[in-house]
């Protein structure tokens, strides 16, 4: 196998996603990469690092549930009640670990962005925020408030992340599904900052 750690990073990330994902989800990955690059530019963040994180964010998404749990166990990733109930919640943390192990990624903010993209996290950094939002507003996303969220994403990243978290919590409540505590805490953190502004 060629040494992917020596490849141009974007090329290696693209290859990892392409070989692990269906055409449909790889398409989503590329749309998130384009969206995050654009949003990163608007908000003064590094578009290349944002794109790189986006290419990897869903790389583990199509693993079977059992494999998430096995890998999480082998790699010592935290597994709580929500992850045991719904192992696909681990696709971010597992993808971050794949990036580290297979591509030698050491950029902590990139790894955090990949790790946190599903649930968010209180105190999440700008790269995490921009990827979280881009994932929710890429051009093929289609839900009633997406237009408003797309506009907000260009003006106010934190506001867009808060809005998106509120939406996902409400969605879970409608379906009587639990929300991951990290999402509830991330929203509280963003709202605290909104009030303080």
Task: Give me the residues that bind Fe ion (CB under 5 A), please.
Answer: 58, 135
97 versus 135: smaller Cβ distance to Fe ion:
135
Least CB distance from residue 3 to Fe ion, whole Å? 27
83 versus 135: smaller Cβ distance to Fe ion:
135
Least CB distance from residue 107 to Fe ion, whole Å? 19
Whose structure tokens read 């297979």? 102
What gap in Å lies between CA 129 and CA 54, rounded to an integer? 12
85 versus 194: smaller Cβ distance to Fe ion:
85
Task: Note whether 54 and 26 are within 8 A (CB).
Answer: no
Least CB distance from residue 6 to Fe ion, whole Å? 27
58 versus 112: smaller Cβ distance to Fe ion:
58
Sign of the dihedral through C-alpha 187, 58, 114, 153: negative
Least CB distance from residue 51 to Fe ion, whole Å? 14
Alpha helical stretches, state H, the chain: 9-20, 23-42, 47-57, 65-75, 81-85, 91-103, 108-116, 126-137, 146-155, 157-174, 181-196
């Amino acid at each position: 196998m060629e040494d992917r750690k020596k490849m141009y990073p974007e090329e290696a990330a693209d290859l990892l996603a392409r070989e692990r994902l269906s055409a449909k989800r790889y398409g989503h990955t590329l749309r998130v990469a384009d969206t995050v690059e654009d949003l990163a530019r608007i908000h003064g963040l590094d578009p290349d690092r944002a794109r790189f994180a986006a290419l990897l964010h869903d790389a583990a998404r199509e693993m079977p549930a059992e494999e998430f749990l096995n890998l999480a166990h082998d790699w010592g990733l935290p597994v709580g009640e929500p992850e045991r109930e719904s192992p696909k919640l681990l696709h971010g943390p597992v993808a971050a670990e794949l990036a580290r192990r297979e591509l030698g990624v050491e950029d902590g903010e990139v790894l955090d962005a990949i790790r946190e993209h599903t649930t968010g996290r209180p105190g999440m950094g700008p790269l995490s925020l921009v990827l979280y939002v881009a994932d929710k507003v890429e051009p093929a996303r289609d839900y009633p408030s997406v237009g408003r969220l797309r506009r907000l994403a260009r003006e106010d990243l934190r506001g867009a992340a808060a809005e998106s978290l509120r939406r996902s919590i409400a969605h879970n409540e409608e379906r009587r599904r639990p929300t991951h505590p990290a999402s509830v805490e991330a929203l509280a953190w963003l709202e605290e900052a909104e009030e303080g502004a």
